[in-house]
Amino acid sequence: MSAVVARPSERGVRGWLRANSAGRVGAVIERGFRVVGAQNWIIIVSGFFEPVFYLLSMGFGLGGLIGTVTGPGGRPLSYAAFIAPALLATSAMNGALYDSTWNVFFKLRFAKLYQAMLSTSLGPLDVAGGEIFMALFRGLLYAIGFTGVIAILGLTTSWWALAMIPVALLIALGFASVGMALTSYFTTFQQMDWINIALLPMFMFSATLFPITTFPVGVQWFIMALPLWHGVELMRQLSVGVFDGSSGVHLGYFLIMSVLGVAFTTRRLRSLFLR
C-alpha cells in the first residue's frame, strides 16, 4: 500500500479553529434554551431561593443580634446589607461551578450528550462555548432576581447596584472557565468533591459573613489571594456606590481570571471532549 501523504494541516489560529469549531455555537445554545423549559424546575428555583433564604435567616435573623458592621469606606452598614452582595457573589460562583463541573461531567460521561453533539459537524469549541453561555444565562437570571430582591428590601443605596448584575456574570465566567478546564482532569464523580471541599471554607472565610479584619494578618493575605474575596468586596462596594483603589484590583482579578480560565479551557478542550 502506498503511503498516505497528508496535506500539511494549517497552523496557527485558523488551523486550530478549523479543527475545533464549525462556528456554530448557536446550535448548542438553541438546544440549551429548548431544554430549559423541560428541566427540573425545582433545581432552577432552588438556585434562586438559596441566597434569598440565607439573606433572610442570617441577614435579618442573625443581623438583629449584630446590629451594624463597618462597610466600604468605613461607613456603618446593617448586617443584612453587609452580607447581601457577598451572597450574590457566592451564588454566581456556585452556579457557574456546578454547571461547568458536575453538569459537564454528567453530560460527558453519563448522558453522552457531548458524544452525540461531537459526532455532528460541531467541534469541541462550539460545545464548550454554548455550555458556558448557558451557564452565564442562568447566572444572569439569578443575578437579576437576587439584585431585585435586595433592592426591594432596601439593602442597596446606590444606582451602582445595577452593575452588580454584569459583575456577577464576570465572576461566573471566571469560575466557569476554570471549572471546565479542571473537569477535563476528572475521571470520577468523587474527584469533584474536592471542589466542594475547597469551596465551603472559601465561602465561610472570604469576608462573606464577617469582615476580613477578624483574622490575623497572615490569614488575611491568604484570603485576599483567593478569588471569592475579590468578588465579595467588589459587590459590596457596588451595592453602596463607594469605591477606592482596591475596586480596580478586584475587577482586574476577575478579568485576568476569566482570560486565563478561557485560555486554560481552550488548551484542555480536546482532552476534555475527545478522549
Partner 1 sequence: MPVIEARELVKTYANVHAVDGISFDVAPGESFGLLGPNGAGKSTTMRMIGGTTRRTSGTLLVNGLDPETRGPEVRASLGVVPQTDNLDPELRARDNLIMYGRYFGLPYSYLRPKAEELLAFAQLTEKAGEKVDNLSGGMKRRLTIARSLINEPSVLLLDEPTTGLDPQARHILWDRLFRLKEAGVTLIVTTHFMDEAEQLCDRLIVMDGGLIVAEGSPASLIRQYSTREVLELRFGSERNAALVDRLRGYADSIEPLPDRVLLYTDNAEAALAKVKADGLDPVTSLVRRASLEDVFLRLTGRSLVD
**Rule CB under 8 A: which residues touch partner 1?**
1, 3-4, 6-7, 9-10, 15, 18-22, 24, 27-28, 30-31, 34-35, 38-39, 111-113, 115-123, 270, 274-275
Query: Which of 107, 144 has the CB closer to partner 1?
Result: 107
What span, in angstroms and rounded, lies between the C-alpha atoms of 45 and 50?
9
Question: Residue 171 in contact with residue 92, Cβ under 8 Å?
Answer: yes
Nearest one of 264, 122, 110 to 185, comparing CA atoms: 264
Query: Which of 163, 270 has the CB closer to partner 1?
Result: 270
Query: Which of 119, 213 has the CB closer to partner 1?
Result: 119
Question: Residue 173 in contact with residue 96, Cβ under 8 Å?
Answer: yes
Query: Which of 34, 65 has the CB closer to partner 1?
Result: 34
Q: Give the chain's length.
A: 275
* In the complex, least distance from residue 43 CB atom to partner 1, rounded to whole angstroms: 13
What span, in angstroms and rounded, lies between the C-alpha atoms of 126 and 128?
6
- The CA R_g of the chain, rounded to the nearest whole Å, is 21
Query: Which of 117, 161 has the CB closer to partner 1?
Result: 117
Question: Residue 83 in contact with residue 59, Cβ under 8 Å?
Answer: yes
* In the complex, least distance from residue 5 CB atom to partner 1, rounded to whole angstroms: 8
* In the complex, least distance from residue 21 CB atom to partner 1, rounded to whole angstroms: 7
Please state, as a whole number, how many other Cβ atoms lie within 10 Å of the Cβ of residue 272.
Answer: 23
* In the complex, least distance from residue 262 CB atom to partner 1, rounded to whole angstroms: 20
What span, in angstroms and rounded, lies between the C-alpha atoms of 268 and 19?
14
* In the complex, least distance from residue 187 CB atom to partner 1, rounded to whole angstroms: 10
177: part of which helix (H) or strand (E)?
helix 164-183
* In the complex, least distance from residue 2 CB atom to partner 1, rounded to whole angstroms: 9
Query: Which of 14, 65 has the CB closer to partner 1?
Result: 14
